[in-house]
Structure 1
Amino acid sequence: MARNINHKEAIELKTTLGKETKFKGTMRFKDSLKIDGKFEGEIISRGFLYIERDAEIKADIRVGSIVIGGIVYGNIEASDKLEMLSTGRVFGNIKTRVLKIADGVAFEGKCEMIKDSDSIDVFSDTVVNLKRTAQGVS
């Protein structure tokens, strides 16, 4: 079930990479992270990621939920929810269960929606197609 993203919660995050921060490598975190600086590499977490308006990210991202207010170059997979604010710019493919896009967003890439297991009708599909769906293969 998708979790509602609270922007106030995101702004009050205790873990922050500030405006003057430049980080290169793999970032893993448990709960939540706000990025306001520059990041290059890979971001992996089951938690919540908030990308501030002035942030510039060059990374492939796999997280639980994400709010994007800055610029991201790379593919994003959010297992729960992906939200792009009006200042957000994404140049890469996205994959998520719930997607929210504000007016004014720049997005260049493909979007794939993750299906809930509840949406699979096991009685009207072939076994081969059911296996493909379960494995995430189209």
Structure 2
Amino acid sequence: MTKKIIQINKNPVYDDGMIATVFGKDTEFYGDLTFKKSLQINGYFEGEIMSDGFLVIGDGAVVKANVKARAVIINGTVHGNIDAAEKLEILPTGKLYGNIRTAKLKIADGVVFEGKCEMVKSAQKSPSSTASPSAAEDPKKTASA
């Protein structure tokens, strides 16, 4: 079952109403971070973030990291590249100084974004994506009968 991110009381959360972990406004974290479910950062983080889950950068939070996650919502400031397999959403107070790689992108009015954006296909593979890319790109390599 795919969970959707919704907003309750102006805070983005899982559709079951819970964020698994929250780093509070007075929290500072330095280093590499991995997690599986959902995390909301409301303080300061510096390092690398890797996750199969959802990451929320809260209003007023500062993150200096390259981020790889299933879905990311930015409501604070991020200095680093974002690789969101499913989607990236930047809310009105969000600031991103870095490159984006994602399947779905939603940017609100008033957002600050300095970087490049690469839109990719969804993480789910379709039967057509299993074909050899070199054969599809170069007709000379295609076999004929």
TM-score interval, smaller chain: 0.7 to 0.9
Alignment map for 1:14-53 (pairs within 5 Å): 14-53=20-59
Letter in 2 for 1:129: E
Report the Cα distance in structure 1 between the residues aligned to 2:18 and 2:110, rounded to whole angstroms.
Answer: 25
Q: Secondary structure at the match of 1:7?
A: strand
Report the Cα distance in structure 2 between the residues aligned to 1:112 and 1:13, rounded to whole angstroms.
Answer: 28
Match of 2:137 among 115, 129, 136: 129
Alignment map for 1:1-138 (pairs within 5 Å): 4-8=4-8, 10=13, 12-116=18-122, 117-118=125-126, 127=135, 129=137
Q: Which has the larger radius of gyration?
A: 2
Query: Which TM-score applies when normalising by structure 1?
Result: 0.82
Report the Cα distance in structure 2 between the residues aligned to 1:33 and 1:5, rounded to whole angstroms.
Answer: 12
Report the Cα distance in structure 2 between the residues aligned to 1:59 and 1:43, rounded to whole angstroms.
Answer: 7
TM superposition shift of 1:14: 3.5
Unaligned runs of 5+ in 2: 139-145
**Structure number having the greater helix percentage:** 1
Q: Which moved more, 1:12-21 or 1:102-111?
A: 12-21
Across the aligned residues of Structure 1 and Structure 2, the Cα RMSD in angstroms comes to 2.5
Query: Which TM-score applies when normalising by structure 2?
Result: 0.78
Q: Secondary structure at the match of 1:127?
A: helix
Letter in 1 for 2:137: N
Moved over 6 A (4+): none
Report the Cα distance in structure 1 between the residues aligned to 2:32 and 2:22, rounded to whole angstroms.
Answer: 16
**Structure number having the greater strand percentage:** 2
Letter in 1 for 2:68: R
